[in-house]
Structure 1
Amino acid sequence: MRYFKYALILTTAVLLSFKLFAQQEMMGHSHMPIAVPNAAPTPALSLKLLKDSMSGYNLILDTQRYDLSVPPEGAMNMQQMMSATTNENTGFLQGHAHLYINGVKIQRIYGHALHLPANLFKSGINTVSVTLNNHGHMYWTAQGKKIVATLYVNDQTKEFITYRFESFPSKVKNTH
C-alpha cells in the first residue's frame, strides 16, 4: 500500500509538471513573428542598464529606424493589428517593445527609458531582454532573425553587465 501511495504521488507530480510545461509553451509561443517589410528600413536595438541612485535599475533602449509608440487610440481591427504600420514622415516601423527578465514577460514598453524595481531580479546572474513588436504583439524579424537585445547581468561581480547580445545593434549610441 505504501508503494502505491508513492506511485500515485509521483504520477500526479509528473502529470502536473507536463500540464505546467504545456501552459508555459503556449504562453511562450503566443507571440508570432512578423517580417520587416522590404520597403521599411530594418530597426536596430541596443540596451543599457544602469544602477539607479535610489533603488533598482534604469533600462535605456537605444533604437534606430523605429518609432516606439502607444497603439492608436480607438479600436484597431485584427488586420491592422497584425500588419506593419509605419510613420508617414520617416518610413520607420511603429510599435512597442516587450520586456523580459529571466525569460518572464514583465511589461510592454512605449518609451526609451524605464525604471526596474530591484525585486524583479534575483541575486546573481539575470537576463534582461527586449523585443520590438508591432501593435498586435507580433515580434519583428529581419533576415530571418528576431529583433532582440539581451543583457546578462550579475550583481555579484565587479562588471555588472557580463555579456551582451544584440541581433541588430544600434550603430550610433543615444539616438532614437
Structure 2
Amino acid sequence: MTAIAVTAAFGMVRHTQADPGHGHGAPAAEAVPAEGHGEPGGHPSGEHDGETGHGHHGTIEVPVEQPVPTVTLTVHPDPVRGWNLEVQTEHWVFAPEQVNQSSLTTEGHAHLYINGEQVTRLYSTWSYLPSLPSGEHLLTVGLNANGHEGLTHNSAPIEATVTVVVP
C-alpha cells in the first residue's frame, strides 16, 4: 500500500492506493489510511434512498483472460472551495452513452461513495465535489459496467479510496 498526504487550506487529503484484493471494508490505518439517479435512463431518485454500501446492482467478475482494470482517485483541493476529483483508469474506459446497455468489463461508469453511501455516478475522469462537513470522510470510486454491476477481480471490488479530513 502506498500513501501520499497532502495538506491544503481546506484540510488534509490522504491518498490510499488499494491493491486489487483490497475491499473497502478493511480498516484504514490511523496515520496513513487507506447516484445521482436523475441521469437519462437512470433510476428514479428515491429508488435507493437510505441504501448504503456497494453492490446493490450486483457484481461482474473480470474474466481471467482479460487484463484487470485499475482505478486511482486523486483529490485536488479547489482554489476557491471544495475539491476536484480525478479518476484515472487502465484497461477500462468511461462510456456514458452506454449506460443501462449490455454490460462489459472493459467500459462503463463509476460510482462515487462518501463514507460508504453512494452519492452519484461519474461519467468522466474529472468531477467536482463542492463541500463536505467537518470531519474525516472516505471517498471511494468503484468501477461499474454499463448495467451498474460493480467490477470485481478475485471477488474483490475494483475501486480506489481516499480519506479527506475537513477542519
TM-score with structure 2 setting the length: 0.64
Q: Cα 1:67–1:131, aligned 2, differ >3 Å: closer, same or farther?
A: same
The alignment of Structure 1 onto Structure 2 pairs a total of residues equal to 119
Q: Which has the larger radius of gyration?
A: 1
Calculate percent identity across the aligned residue pairs.
Answer: 34
1:84 and 2:104 correspond: yes
Q: Secondary structure at the match of 1:49?
A: strand
Within 5 Å, which residues of 2 pair with 1:46-65?
A: 46-65=72-91
For residue 43 of structure 1, what is the aligned residue in structure 2? 69
Partner letter of residue 125 of structure 1? E
Q: RMSD over aligned Cα, in angstroms?
A: 2.3
| Conserved? CA contact 1:71–1:135, under 8 Å | no
1:107-122 equivalence runs, <5 A: 107-118=120-131, 121-122=132-133
| Counterpart AA for 1:30 | H
1:130 and 2:141 aligned: yes
Determine which structure has the larger strand proportion and give its number: 2
Structure having greater relative contact order (Cα 8 Å, sep ≥ 6): 2
Given the two structures, how large is their TM-score scaled by the length of structure 1? 0.61
| 3-state SS, counterpart of residue 71 of structure 1 | helix
| Cα gap change, 1:125 to 1:135, in 2 (>3 Å) | same
Change (3 A) 1:62 1:124: same
* Structure 1 stretch displaced more, 108-117 or 26-35: 26-35
Aligned to 1:102, which of 98, 112, 115? 115
The answer to which structure has the higher helix fraction is 1
Q: 1:58 to 1:95 in 2, by over 3 A?
A: same
Q: Match for residue 30 of structure 1?
A: 56
- Runs of 5+ in structure 2 lacking a partner? 1-48
Contiguous gaps of at least 5 residues in structure 1: 1-22, 86-92, 157-176
Q: Distance in 2 between matches of 1:28 and 1:97?
A: 12
> Within the alignment, does 1:151 sit opposite 2:162 as a pair?
yes
